[in-house]
Structure 1
Amino acid sequence: MKNLEQIRAGLQAYPIEVTFPDITLWRHGNTGVDYIHSFDSGIAGPHVMVMALSHGNEVSGAIAVDALLRMKLRPLKGRITLGFSNVEAYRRFDRNNVDATRFIDEDMNRVWSESRLDSSDETLELRRARELRPIIDDVDYLLDIHSMHEESPPMMMCGPLEKGIRFASQIGLPAHVIADAGHPNGKRMRDYGGFGDIDSPKNSLLIETGQHFSSRSRDVALDTACRFLAATGVADIMGLSHFLTQPFPVKQRLLQVTQPVVAQTMNFEFARNFHGLELIERAGTVIAKDGDVEISSPYDNCVIVQPSLRHLAPGVTVMRLAKILDFQSDGDMKMS
């Protein structure tokens, strides 16, 4: 049986095409929480946040937040908060082991349930989440910027609620919008509190910009952050036009995740080299093997979402399966 290091050694290595910003410049913010900067217009409006580095090796978000801070962005109304999440994992990033510092003790994007935050558990990521919690509690609209292990087109992860689907449609990019219910092994920041409450006016999105270290991911992160800020009314899109590099508008396609595929063994293998968003036309097509167990597409036109073995372990989600849906004018979904 292979171990994780052997599995990673057999996977594609991606070049680091971007410069990692020195975020220590932003350690001392104005909120009482390190690496969090908040600016109030003095005019009534929403509290809008752009968050980077939920995972320490996902640099595109750090580049975007760093750029917005450097330009001294200020809100037209309401409040803008810009921040970096798992800064310790980012600080420890190792170019010779690029997958190692996704987190230090545990995945910081799985701790955002009240039960975990209020627990007696102590990890580096939980301590940081508890520092951020009072600020997140006050946010009306959140964009959490992420990137992916493998090279794949960008995706907006809008959650399972209609309000998230409508919000993604209002942003207008990227082309692929994923309606997903989150992870079985922990709640994401995107789904925390009012963000995941159908009756709350709060709303949030998670953008997967592309492969961690690609220049395209950097460009997607900057473009999406700017369109998010403009869509919420706290910024003027014309004032951010120098960051807009992506084709717009685009025809968006909505996918609904129907199930995660969770590895049971370290002998999990894909049937071919999936990167993400591949269409499996026929139900019953073998797409992976987990030890001696074959995993097949459960329906026609099944879409593979975020396949990766870089963090393979029993109990870890290695891909998701999704159906193609249609956008409706009111933001609802229906089957194609």
Structure 2
Amino acid sequence: MPSEPLSPALAAIAAGQTPGVAARLDVRIAAPDIRPHLGGNLLPGVWSFTASAPGPHLVIVAVMHGNEIGGAVVLDRWLRAGFRPSRGRLTLVFGNLDAYARFDPNDPTASRFVDEDLNRVWDVETLEGGRRSSELRRARLLRPVFESADVLLDLHSMLWPSDPLILVGRSPRAAALGLALGQPGLVVADDGHLGGRRLIDFAAFTAPESRRSAILLEAGSHWEAGTVATMERTAARLLRHCGMVCPGDTVLVPEGPKPGPGRLVEVTRTVTARTAGFAFIRPFRGGHVVPERNTLLALDGEEEVRTPHDDCVLVMPSLRTSPGHTAVRLARFVGAKP
């Protein structure tokens, strides 16, 4: 418990009230009609195109969560425009079709999944076990596609305000790929979630003997045009990085100025809410750097949450969370200070 009486602002926070904090639920983009794409040419909702010239197999995944519709906008545009790789194989995957079909702009957070989170089932025991759900049926169907990928990009967006970032788990190969892209500039090495393994944590991509890499893009706020633009720029840059784009291509967004090198941070602590009263002292934005160690960030009931080190990067703070869920990840820069 704090040693001094709480200020009125902190008292409100301790009571579970964070003034001025509200999730942004305005849907500023339209969910595309993907019915023309549902048949696929490989699996339902999965399109794969192989060039005559050899090259890597790149898989790009959208709507792993049914309400994160920005990736569907990108894949829909590319498919309608007839984009094809110049070498290798490109596979475009609409992930959680059942959840996406339920998306309602009047209740945009309700269609994240049907039965369980499709991005928490990617371990062999779960995939091969006896549990049944809409998401596990889809995961089991998609598993061979993902296991055949050399490189995978999983497109996501965020509910709370944050700078874009790339999540790479603990794979050195994925971290190197994220840093090489340089767009977005923040690359986060983390341990994932207690609730289950993400696709980027799947053994096909993380086994030491594997040469495969998977990265997860958190492109910005849900339902914003800028988030869609970030997804498309990053996906196009990855295609170019893999050497899969013809010089005269007119479908992808222009390459633009070459971004600077990315910065790698590693998560040192994952803060999980223990009480229903968890609240930050102010509405932090993801990517914010707190200069000093031991700075107060939040109250979880009577427990204080403070920065464990100097130059502490706040990774995707969830400004309203419930017990047992991740509230924020705290990270430090790897290498020289920015």
TM-score (norm 1): 0.90
Q: CA deviation at 1:244?
A: 3.6
Q: Give the distance between the partners of 2:251 and 2:33, measured in 1 at CA.
A: 24
Q: Which runs of 5+ in 2 are unaligned?
A: 1-16
Match of 1:115 in 2: 125
SS of the residue 2:125 aligns to: helix
Tell me if 1:296 matches 2:296.
no
Which of the numbers 250, 253, 264 marks the counterpart of 1:243? 253
- Superposed, 1:14-33 pairs within 5 Å as 14-31=25-42, 33=43
Which of the numbers 325, 329, 336 marks the counterpart of 2:334? 325
C-alpha distance after superposition, 1:18-77 (max 9, x if no partner)? 12111111000111x210001112332211111101111111111111111112111222
Q: CA deviation at 1:239?
A: 1.3
SS of the residue 2:286 aligns to: coil
C-alpha distance after superposition, 1:273-310 (max 9, x if no partner)? 11211111221111111111111111111111101145
Tell me if 1:69 matches 2:79.
yes
C-alpha distance after superposition, 1:169-192 (max 9, x if no partner)? 222211211122222221111121
Match of 1:81 in 2: 91
SS of the residue 1:126 aligns to: helix
**Runs of 4+ off more than 3 Å:** 244-248
CA contact (8 A) 1:226 1:240 kept: no
Q: Give the distance between the partners of 2:34 and 2:56, measured in 1 at CA.
A: 26
Q: Give the distance between the partners of 1:217 and 1:247, measured in 2 at CA.
A: 19
Read off the aligned partner of 1:61 and give its amino acid letter.
G
Read off the aligned partner of 1:206 and give its amino acid letter.
L
Q: Give the distance between the partners of 2:200 and 2:337, measured in 1 at CA.
A: 25
Which of the numbers 170, 192, 196 marks the counterpart of 1:186? 196
Which of the numbers 280, 285, 298 marks the counterpart of 1:275? 285
Change in 2 beyond 3 A, CA 1:75/1:167: same
C-alpha distance after superposition, 1:231-275 (max 9, x if no partner)? 112223651575247753234222111121111121111111112
Match of 2:178 in 1: 168
Match of 1:329 in 2: none
Q: Give the distance between the partners of 2:275 and 2:145, measured in 1 at CA.
A: 39
Q: Give the distance between the partners of 1:131 and 1:205, measured in 2 at CA.
A: 21
Which of the numbers 135, 140, 146 marks the counterpart of 1:136? 146
Change in 2 beyond 3 A, CA 1:200/1:100: same
Which of the numbers 210, 215, 227 marks the counterpart of 1:205? 215
SS of the residue 1:61 aligns to: helix
SS of the residue 1:239 aligns to: coil
Change in 2 beyond 3 A, CA 1:50/1:237: farther
CA contact (8 A) 1:226 1:237 kept: no
Q: Which runs of 5+ in 1 are unaligned?
A: 1-5, 327-333
Change in 2 beyond 3 A, CA 1:246/1:207: farther
SS of the residue 1:254 aligns to: strand
Change in 2 beyond 3 A, CA 1:237/1:110: farther
Q: Give the distance between the partners of 2:52 and 2:185, measured in 1 at CA.
A: 35
Q: Give the distance between the partners of 2:144 and 2:319, measured in 1 at CA.
A: 35
Match of 2:323 in 1: 314
Of 201-210 and 93-102, the range deviating more from structure 2:
93-102
Q: Give the distance between the partners of 1:237 and 1:179, measured in 2 at CA.
A: 33
Match of 2:10 in 1: none
Q: Give the distance between the partners of 2:78 and 2:125, measured in 1 at CA.
A: 34
TM-score (norm 2): 0.89
Larger radius of gyration: 2
Change in 2 beyond 3 A, CA 1:128/1:246: farther
Read off the aligned partner of 2:317 and give its amino acid letter.
P
Q: Give the distance between the partners of 1:237 and 1:320, measured in 2 at CA.
A: 40
Match of 1:60 in 2: 70
Match of 1:105 in 2: 115
Q: CA deviation at 1:105?
A: 1.3
Change in 2 beyond 3 A, CA 1:126/1:216: same
SS of the residue 2:266 aligns to: strand
C-alpha distance after superposition, 1:108-152 (max 9, x if no partner)? 111000011001001111111011111111111101000111122
Change in 2 beyond 3 A, CA 1:287/1:239: same
Percent identity over paired residues: 37
Q: CA deviation at 1:88?
A: 1.3
